[in-house]
Amino acid sequence: MKLSQIISGVIKVLLYFILTVGVITVLIPFLWMLATAFKPYTEMFKLPISFLPKSPTFQNFVELAHTFPLPRLFFNSFFIAGVACVSSVFFATMVGYGLAKFRSRGLNIIFLILLSSIMVPDFTRVIPLYLTMVRLKGDNTYWGVIIVNYLSIFGIFLMRQYAMAIPEELLDAARIDGASEPRILMEVAFPLLRPACVTLLVIKFMWVWNDFLWPLVMLREPKMMTLPIALSGLKGLQVIRYGPLMAGAVAIVVPVAVLFLFLQKYIVRGIALTGFK
C-alpha cells in the first residue's frame, strides 16, 4: 500500500514536471520576443542571455511608429476583421440554423456540399479570386479583402452544431403563437445562440486578424495594409533591426492574445465542438 502511494506520488511529480518543461519550451520564443522588444539597442547583443531587460525602454516602439503609420494599420486591421466578424456571425447563424432545424433531403445535400469545401485550401482559389477582384476594381480595397470573408464554412458548421441543441418545442410554441420563421430566428433562436455567436466572433476575429495570403496579394499600398501584412515587409529591408521588428510582433500578438485570454472558454468550446464529430 505504501509503495504504491510512493509510486503514484512520483508519477504525479513527473507528470507536472514534463508538462511544465513543455510549457516553458513553448513559451520561450514569446518571452524572447518580449525581452528583445523592451531592450535598448546596446543590450540586445549582450552575453550572457537575459530575459529581463536591465534598462527597459520603449525606444523600439517609437522607432516602429516612425517607420509605419501604426494608427492607420491598427485601424485597417480592426476594421477589416470587425466587419468580417459581424457579417460572418449574422450569415452563419442564419445558414447554420436553417441547416439544423429545417431538415430535408435537399438541405442535407446542401450541407454535405458546403462541408466538402473544407478540403479545398485557400491557395487553390487565390489566383482566380485575385484576378476577378482586379477586374471588379476590388484589389487594394477594404471590401475586396472583406467580401471573401463574409461567411465561412467553419462558421456555418459551428452554428449548425449549436443550433441542433435548440429544443424543437420552443420553436413550435412560437409557431403556434403565429410568429413568422424569420421572427423565430431573430427572437427565439438568436438569443439562445448568443454563446455560439461569441465563439464564432472571437475565432473569426483571430482568423482574419492573422490572415496572410489573401490580404498579402490584395493590399498593395501601405496605407491600406493590415498590421501583419505591413510588418511582413520589414524583413526585406537591408539591415534587419530586430528591436523594432520584435516591437512589431508584440503589436500584432497583444490584441489577439488579450482577446484569447479573456474569452478562451468560448474558443476552447468552439474548437472542441467543431474539431471533430
Partner 1 sequence: MGVKISREKWGYIFVIPGVLWYGLFMLYPMYYAIILSAHRWMGVETNPLFVGLDNFKEIFTDSLFYKSTVNTFYFTFISVSLTTFTALFIAILLTKVIKLRAIYRTFYFLPSVAGVVAVGIIWTWCYQPTFGLFNRILQVLHLPPSRWIMDPRLALFCVAITQAWMRLGFNVIVFLAGLLTIPEQFYDAAKVDGASGFHQLIHITLPLARPIITFLLIYNTIYGLTVFGEVYMLTEGGPGSATYTVAYLMYETAFRYSRMGKGSAMALFLFVIILVITVIQMKFFERRTQIEY
Q: Give, as ranges, the residues between 97 and 136 that touch partner 1 (CB under 8 A).
A: 97-99, 101-104, 106-107, 110, 113-114, 117, 119-132, 134-135
Does the footprint of partner 1 cover residue 271 (CB under 8 A)? yes
Q: Which is nearer to partner 1, 2 or 105 (CB)?
A: 105
Give, as ranges, the residues between 45 and 104 that touch partner 1 (CB under 8 A): 45, 47-49, 91, 94-95, 97-99, 101-104
Q: Is 149 exposed, middle or buried (0-12, 13-18, 19+ CB in 10 A)?
A: buried
Q: Which of 58, 143, 212, 262 binds partner 1 (CB under 8 A)?
A: 212
How many CB atoms sit inside 10 A of residue 18's CB?
10
> By C-beta, is 63 or 181 nearer to partner 1?
181
CB of 24 or CB of 62, closer to partner 1: 24
**In the complex, least distance from residue 118 CB atom to partner 1, rounded to whole angstroms:** 8
Please name the residues in contact with 44: beta carbons below 8 A apart, sequence gap of 6 or more.
36, 242, 243
Nearer to partner 1, 224 or 246 (CB): 246
In this chain, which of 13, 164, 194, 264 binds partner 1, going by CB under 8 A? 264
* Number of shown-chain residues binding partner 1 (CB under 8 A): 90
Task: Please name the residues in contact with 198: beta carbons below 8 A apart, sequence gap of 6 or more.
Answer: 263, 266
Query: Which of 192, 198, 217, 263 lies at the binding interface for partner 1 (CB under 8 A)?
Result: 217
- Under rule CB under 8 A, which residues in 227-256 are in contact with partner 1? 228-229, 231-232, 234-235, 240, 242, 245-246, 248-249, 252-253, 256
* Cell output for 142: 477594404
Who contacts 88 (Cβ-Cβ below 8 Å, separation ≥6)?
Answer: 149, 150, 151, 152, 155, 200, 204
Task: Report the alpha-carbon distance of residue 248 to residue 64 in Å, rounded.
Answer: 7
Contacts 24+ apart (CB under 8 A), 1-9: none
Nearer to partner 1, 79 or 242 (CB): 242
Site string for partner 1, 157-176 (x = CB under 8 A): --------------------
Minimum CB separation of residue 141 from partner 1 in Å reads 15
Dihedrals phi, psi of 49, to nearest 5 degrees: -65, 140
Tell me 228's DSSP state: H
Cβ atoms within 10 A of the Cβ of 92, count?
26
Q: How far is the CB of 2 from partner 1 (least distance, A)?
A: 19
| Region binding partner 1 by CB under 8 A among candidate stretches 44-52, 53-61, 63-71, 190-198 | 44-52
Q: Which residue has the cell 480595397?
A: 141
Q: Please report, for residues 44, 268, 276, the alpha-carbon distance to residue 33 in angstroms, rounded to integers and kept in the order given.
A: 11, 25, 34
Q: 504525479: which residue's cell?
A: 12
Nearer to partner 1, 103 or 194 (CB): 103
